[in-house]
Every structure is written in structure tokens, then in C-alpha cells.
Structure 1
């Protein structure tokens, strides 16, 4: 492993699941990772890891912490926003508080991280942003009213920012996973009930999602404004 990182990446939602897998993948590739999560990271800081405890819905406070974590480090080349929540909701069950929680984290949080990090990407001469959307942005699942709407907003935001940031040599894309095997999706047997509807008859592994994020992040190319569905055939475009 390269102990002198040539590039930095901001990754959010790193305490578990897909965000943790993404952070690990970048470290394996020798990148310096600014690992952002609302839960304190149990790993000690190292040449390849700068843990930041913070709330992605609080731009000013988090921005200062990320700026400090990047100070004196390798230039920022990528931003990956994997933080998100997926509570169930329906017309009958939703509340204003739940609406605000889902949209504040999934949408506002994504925008905040993009704005915080984009200043550094511009200073580095460009780079990439990868948002986490969902297959539910394109197809409908029962009891995912607010989650689906929030991820559709992320898809639209990806396209808008791709246009806005192109002149700065920054590409913006999203991954749109289907069912992924994590502690959250295993809770209550949710994933077991869904597997029969997946053509490949299994959920994605977090490492598979991290592989695609790495491909979109590490070598920015001519692809921008796209949302890549990683759903085992549940949805095809």
C-alpha cells in the first residue's frame, strides 16, 4: 500500500455499510480518506485516514472540520456522499418530522457536502463527485414514498451539478443501488423478502458497490450527469 497519498477523497456515511466499504477501497488504493460520519470513527487517524465526526445537514460546522482535515494533505480529487437514511413511509404514516429528516439528510446533506468539497476540487484543477441515489428513484416500492422522492431529487441534482461544474473539470455522477446486503437491510428480514424479486436472486455486496464508486471516482472521464443502476436486474434502462 502506498503510504504517501497522492490524492484525497471525502467519503460520508463511513461508520458502516456501503460508506465504510467505499472508504476502505480508497485506502486500499493509497488515497487519503476524510471519513465523515455523525458517529465517531473507531479507527485512529493515519496517513490514509482522517476521521471527521459531523452532521452533513450542518454545512458551516462540518465545512470547518473538513477544511482542517484536508489541511496539509494530498489535494482533494473526489467526493463521495454515501450517507443516507431509508425509513419506510406512506401517505397514511408520514409526518412532517419524518419528511424533514429524510430530505435534510438525503438531499440537503448531499448538497452541503458537494458545496464544501467543490471549493477544494476547483483548487485541485477538477475531479469527481459521486452521489448515492437508489433504484427507487426510477421504480416504485411500497412504503417508500419519501425515500423514493428524496432519491429522485438526488438524480436530478446530479444532472444539474454536472452542467454547472463541467467548466471546472468536475464530473458528477451517481450510483443507484438496489438491494444491498447490510446490517440495515437485514434488520427485520427486509432483504430476505426482496430477494425473490431480484433476477440475480441475491443482494449486492457492499464491496461491489464500492468497486463501481471507485471506477466513477478515481479516473474522471467523459461520463457525467449519469446515475448508474446497480440492482441485479430489478430495473433496466
Structure 2
């Protein structure tokens, strides 16, 4: 039997990179998936590609009212969600001295508040069906600092802490909450941080990790699948690394 047969998932930031890889894998493994993002044309195209097990709707993860609409639509289309993947995120780098409040809050709003709203929105429907799994995509920068990354690190450290707190509170409802911490992954987010839309150009150099290569979105999706499935039934409140050895120690 497929590993997510009969499960219903909501995936944020689902139209490209890690989110799209997660959505594709979830559908392959039997889940019905509500894709959410703010790139509506790409979202509609991906939903059409994935077929009847997928649907797309617009979601600004920092807007509380939009979360309510997503939950209503998901329930109407597929049923109560049993899996939430909080993947939507933005990446900005700037020295602390020049970092404006507006720029800081843009990162916090998406990366931190979006995760909070997503988790809170899914508690009630998951309780109703007897439990669920929440996977929050953090980063290695949710475990260690990065030069010029104050806002990003603050948001991702927050995701790590929120994951652990939520896991403690929600265990009584049979809702598991874990975080995934990718290292250098070849995605459009990385390309845009390098000022290009071409992933191959942005990742042409070797990253400074022991494995000496960039990770691929599909490699993170496999870990997310494990945490969303019953195979990880005794794992909650944990941080799962997939970073090519980056945080293992100094090279």
C-alpha cells in the first residue's frame, strides 16, 4: 500500500522547489493534496499536472483570513487535513546596520507568522479525525547563525522553537510536529538570492559542505514524506537535518 493512502495534505509554497517536490511525492504515495502559493498560474498548472488528487488555491500565509478559507476549501474538496507541510518561505540577506524594520518584518511575517497560523489553523480539523502530522520546513539557519542573515535566522530559529513547543502541546491529540532543516539546496529561492532565475548558474560553484554537492529538492521531499507517514509514528518535536554534513563540524 502507498505510504499516504487516504491522507489529506496541505502544502504551502507548493508550486516550485521543495514544495513542488513534496506535492508530487505525496500524490504518488496516495495523498490528496491542496497546493497553496501566491504564484497562481504556476499553481494551477501543477494541480492540472497532478490530476484529481490535487487542487490549488491562493494563500498568503501571513493572512489569518486566507488560512480559514484554505481550510474550508480543503474540507469541501477532500475532507479534513491530516498532514500540513509549512514550506512557504522567503530568503533575504542584509547587514544588521542597514536592515530596516520593514525588511525584517517581511521575512518574519512569511517564515514565522505563516508557520504559526498554519499550525493553529489545522489543530481543530486534525483533532476531529484523531490526529495528524505537521512538518515545518526550517533551515540549518534555524540551528546556527549566518552573516547578514539576521531576519532569516530569527525566523528559522523561531520555527525550530515553535515546532518543539507545539509538539509538547499537541501530543495529547495525536498530532505530531517535526521540523526539517535543509542545507544548500538547488532551488529557485537560492537562484534569486544570487540575482538570477537560473538555478544551474546559481549553483555552479561547489558548496562548502563535506558531501561537496548541492542537495536536490527531491531529497528533502523524501524526508518530509517519512515525517508525514506512520513510519515516523514515535517522532515528534524533533529537528531532522538534511544538509550534506554542513553542521557536522568544521571541515
TM-score w.r.t. structure 1 length? 0.92
Aligned to 1:9: 9
1:29 matched residue in structure 2: 29
Structure 2 stretches lacking a partner, 5+ long: 195-200
Whole-angstrom CA distance in 1 between matches of 2:18 and 2:130: 28
Q: Normalising by structure 2, report the TM-score.
A: 0.87
CA–CA distance in structure 2, aligned partners of residues 192 and 136 of structure 1: 22
1:68 matched to 2:79? The reply is: no
* Alpha-carbon separation, structure 1, partners of 2:71 and 2:173: 21
Indicate the RMSD between aligned Cα atoms, in angstroms.
Answer: 1.9
What is the rounded CA distance, in whole Å, between the counterparts of 2:233 and 2:207 in structure 1?
36
Instruction: Quote how far apart the aligned CAs of 1:84 are.
Output: 0.3
Distance 2:203 2:167 in 1: 33
* Structure 1 counterpart of 2:198: none
The DSSP-based 3-state class of the residue aligned with 2:211 is: coil
Contact 2:111 2:156 in 1 (8 A): yes
Residues 193-212 of structure 1 aligned to structure 2 (within 5 Å): 193=205, 195-212=206-223
2:113 maps to which residue? 108
**Larger proportion of helix:** 2
- Secondary structure of 1:235's aligned partner: helix
1:52 matched residue in structure 2? 57
The answer to whether the Cα contact below 8 Å between 1:14 and 1:23 also exists between their aligned partners in 2 is yes
Residues 35, 49 of structure 1: 8 Å contact kept: yes
State whether structure 2 residue 228 is matched by structure 1 residue 217.
yes
| Distance in 1 between residues matched to 2:182 and 2:137, nearest whole Å | 8
Structure 1 runs not aligned, ≥5 long: none
